[in-house]
Amino acid sequence: MNLPAKVIRKIHQRLLWLRWWWWLRGRVSGRVKLRGNLRGLSIAASFHCDGDLWLGIYSDAGRIDIGPDVRASGPLVITAIDEVTLGTGVLLGPNVMITDHYHGDPKNAGIFDVAPSRRPLFTRGPIRVGDFVQIGANASVLSPARIGAAAILGANSVVSGELHARTIYAGAPARPLKTKSSPLLKDE
């Protein structure tokens, strides 16, 4: 008996979902919600989340890469259609959202004639969070973003664009407050 390719693909997706869910349940103290194409998911074994975790990859080419020693206070939401990368030792406060896409291209005036849930997903580019970055409670990181090593983002910050290494940012939109030097970290 030959099963249709669509059925086989659904079975593979479900098995992959089950594998990730089983693996994450020992690293996440809250609920685990997994959505979309999990083939693009990569999480270091040392990851830990002290609350709920929501991961979603909504395109065939989408990727979420979570590096070693990343710690999060849940709930944590990360969604991608392009790429979201978290470096080594990133610390995430509660209620952090990281997403590389929007519902519709804001430059297209026609999107306002369509319900947001029916608009095609649109990205401005990837999100890359450097090593040893700290992201405060209720912060949002939006596409495109590149956050340099050891940057600190204050609570309730809204981040997009280039953020320099070893700099403290706060606000909506996030603005630099102070830069610190460190002989232990390389410049990016």
Q: CA 138, CA 169: separation in Å to the nearest integer?
A: 14
Which CATH number belongs to the domain containing residue 55 in this structure?
2.160.10.10
Whether 1 shows a pLDDT value over 90: the answer reads: no
Q: How many domains does the chain contain in total?
A: 1
Contact indicator for 83, 98 with CB cutoff of 8 Å: no
Q: Using 50, 70 and 90 to split pLDDT, how confident is the model at 182?
A: low
Beta bridge partners of 54: 33, 77
Quick one: the chain helix, strand, coil %, rounded to 5?
Answer: 15, 40, 45
Overall average pLDDT of the 160-186 stretch: 84
Q: What is the mean pLDDT of residues 142-149?
A: 97
Both structure tokens of 165: 């290494």
- Do the domain assignments include residue 121? yes
Residue 174, both tokens: 């996030």
- Mean pLDDT in residue range 167-178: 93
* pLDDT given at position 107: 86
Q: Specify the pLDDT at position 5.
A: 86
Residue 19 in domain? yes
Q: What is the mean predicted confidence (pLDDT) over 8-26?
A: 92
185 belongs to a structural domain: no
**Model pLDDT, residue 188:** 44
| Average pLDDT over the chain, rounded to an integer | 92
Does residue 95 lie in a domain region? yes
So what's the pLDDT on residue 6? 86
Choice between 170 and 180, residue whose per-residue pLDDT is larger: 170
In a domain, 81, yes or no: yes
Q: Tell me, yes or no, whether 188 lies in a domain.
A: no
